[in-house]
A = this chain, B = another copy of it.
Amino acid sequence: YYLLEENDIRERLIHRAAFSHKGTFGHAMLVAGAPETMGAALLTSRACLYAGAGLTSACIPATGLTALNASLPEVMAVVRSEQGLPTSVDWEKYQAIGIGPGLGTGPGSLSLLRVVLKNFHKPIVLDADALNLIAHNYELIQQVPEHSVLTPHMKEFDRLFGDHQDWWSRIETGIDRATTLGCTIVLKNRYTIIFTPQGMCLFNPTGTPAMATGGSGDALTGIITSFLAQGYEPHEAAFIGTYVHGAAGERVRGYVATPSQLIDELPLLMKELAD
């Protein structure tokens, strides 16, 4: 058991070098949102952008296109058809994919998850409804690329890996599954716990109860996907992402810290940590 500290993040977060260009920082795609929960796609895409990905694309329903353009002009769209699938995607050009926030668990979402798992073989961040879909179609877990990152909260963790009576047994399961699957698992909680494929178990100290509001998790998914796209190892993307997510929330300083406000804090916070 290890407690993440600011110095762990300072050592890992890379100072952006001169002569780097947008290609240096990768192209991330966020597969998220449904007509009534499109905001989740916006929050996760915005988090990805502000955490420094070189390019960010959002795979969204057609009904969300105008909202994406109006609020995030830096983010490109990959529009899904009425059946829920993007028409033609060049999967090679993405360095990382984040999937799940606000996606829904209907048949279209399941088909979409299958398409992503079939076509994309670099690390994926799986969150929210992507985890719920896997929980109900557990054979899919075999298709999750090694080195992926799973970010369940407690209920999603239990849906995925079975009910647990207490946190100690959850920690045991987390260590076991992370090593078995070769994935990093980020178990979201007041003190989020990260399990690495090497069997490490880390506690993240940052965060505040003001972040207990819808969309916080969507932001975390976008941040970790952004670090994956920038070339960090999956467990390092999880360490840095979880730490800065909580630290950014602390900086908001209100009774509630909305995800939008939290995301706005990322660039200056990360600049301070990287310098």
List chain A positions with a Cβ less than 8 A from chain B.
16-22, 24-25, 35-40, 42-43, 46, 49-56, 63-79, 102, 153, 189-190, 208-210, 212-216, 252-261, 266-271, 274
Contacts and interface: CB of A to CB of B under 8 A. Distances in A.
B67 A69 contact: yes
B71 A258 contact: no
A236 B153 CA distance: 32
A32 to B, nearest CB: 11
Question: Which of A53, A190, A215 lies at the interface centre, i.e. has the most chain B CB atoms within 10 A of its CB?
Answer: A215
B271 A22 contact: no
10 contacts: A17-B209, A18-B209, A19-B190, A21-B153, A21-B190, A21-B212, A43-B74, A46-B73, A64-B66, A210-B267
A52 B16 contact: no
Given A63-B65, A213-B52, A71 B70 contact: yes
A113 to B, nearest CB: 21
A37 B24 CA distance: 21
A212 B54 CA distance: 6
A210 B16 contact: yes
A268 B65 CA distance: 32
A42 B73 contact: yes
Given A25-B213, A39-B75, A67-B66, A270 B254 contact: yes
Contacts of A77: 35-38
B209 A20 contact: yes
A211 to B, nearest CB: 9
B22 A212 contact: yes
Contacts of A210: 16, 267, 271
A20 B256 contact: no
A153 B54 CA distance: 15
Contacts of A214: 22, 54-56, 74, 76
Nearest to A190: B19
